[in-house]
Amino acid sequence: MLDNHNFIDQSIPELNPQGLDKKVADNISPMELYCLVRKQIEHEDELVNQRVNWLLFSQAFFFGTFATILTTGTVIIYQSFIIDLVATTGIVLCIFGFFSILAAMESHGKLTKFWQESEYRIAFPQISGVAKQRNLSLLKSNGSIFAGGIPLLITLLWLLVLLFVSFTYIAVFVAPVAVISLFLMVKSLLNTTEYY
């Protein structure tokens, strides 16, 4: 049955995870629907992977800059200001990175939910490794704590740099924003992981 892999690319319209259309699902075979949803879930997983890698790469650059500034033997004019600027940029990129990762996780979750509500799910293997749990226990069971937790951890580290390493007037404005962002990020991560 899976001998012809080209049928997915040629004959099935793409399902939009934001507004999955039951009419489209009714016009294709159960095997085609399973393959299509599975393919899109794999795509969303790859997006999460790529976005985490981009975030880690950018943060490695910023932490390298931070370490270089701290370990330089010469006096750098406005050293605290530069450290705060690097930390602020790191925080902003973590926030943007987190919400782009979260978007892919939400799309993955909607696809999984769509399949779990399908009448065909019983005849096929589980579409993704999602356990029927909620909140913290779900985070531990499905791996989303890693993808969503990395930006949280890095944001917290940059916040500590702002507060305890340089603390200039920039930190006075950025620290409360970072704390609020951390709260919103944790809340969003807990709400998103129902089907991821």
Encode pLDDT of 67-84 as tens digits.
998 888 777 778 888 899
Q: Strand, coil or helix: what is 4?
A: coil
pLDDT score, position 79: 86
Cα separation, 118 vs 37, in Å, equals 11
> Which of 1, 8, 6, 3 has the alpha carbon at shortest distance from 32?
8
Extract the tokens encoding 133: 């749990």
* Top-ranked range on mean pLDDT: pick from 8-22, 23-37, 73-87, 132-146: 73-87
- Give every CB contact of residue 13 below 8 A, 6+ residues apart in sequence: 24
Extract the tokens encoding 174: 């950025």
Between 67-81, 85-99, 105-119, 129-143, the lowest mean confidence (pLDDT) is in 129-143
Alpha helices, DSSP H, located in the chain: 7-11, 22-26, 30-71, 79-116, 135-142, 144-161, 169-192
> Which of 196, 71, 74 has the alpha carbon at shortest distance from 142?
196
Sequence length of the chain is 196
Q: Are 189 and 99 in contact (CB under 8 A)?
A: no
Encode pLDDT of 22-64 as tens digits.
556 567 888 998 999 999 999 999 999 999 999 999 999 999 9
Q: Which amino acid appears at position 131 of this protein?
A: A
